[in-house]
Amino acid sequence: MGCIGLALILVLMGFGQGIMLPIAAALTGFFTSFTYTWIVVYIPEVFPTERRGACMGWTTTVARISYVIGPLLTGYLLSIFPTMEWFWVIGGVVILIPIAIIMLFNPTETKKLELEEIEVDRA
């Protein structure tokens, strides 16, 4: 829910005015704290035990790089385009795309299964 909340708040920031912008910015910070937590839960369910460490390593590496590049890119874009309503809307939509793909195709359903059953199904 945190990623969906972040996406919706970003889209609203594109249309926000006045007092709504600082409130939306605070909510963006709140929902951003949830964006990485689903990865820590989802990856162990999708990948077999022997690949989990590598997948978590790659995910963490990409996340750390994006933490550096994201603010730099945003600052650069703001210097070129002072009003960036489109930036927030596109950012929200980009977040929703992988969520929609996962929800539509649901590659691995592990609800109500024991860990041993999941490992047997993967073999």
1-31 pLDDT, tens digit per residue, is 678 888 888 888 888 888 888 888 888 888 8
**Domain assignment present for 14:** yes
Domain annotation covers residue 119: no
Q: Is residue 112 part of a domain?
A: no
CA–CA separation, 112 and 115 (whole Å): 10
User: Which of 9-13, 68-72, 80-84, 111-115 bottoms out in mean pLDDT, i.e. has the lowest?
Assistant: 111-115
Domain assignment present for 123: no
Q: Total domain count for the chain? A: 1
Domain membership of residue 15 (yes or no) is yes
Choice between 8 and 111, residue whose per-residue pLDDT is larger:
8
Q: What is this structure's pTM?
A: 0.62
Query: Is the residue at 117 inside a domain?
Result: no
User: In which domain, by residue range, is 73 found?
Assistant: 2-107
* Secondary structure percentages of the chain, helix, strand, coil, to 5: 80, 0, 20
Instruction: Classify the C-alpha dihedral 102-108-114-116 as positive or negative.
Output: negative
pLDDT digits (tens, 9 = 90+) for 78-104: 888 877 788 888 888 988 898 888 788
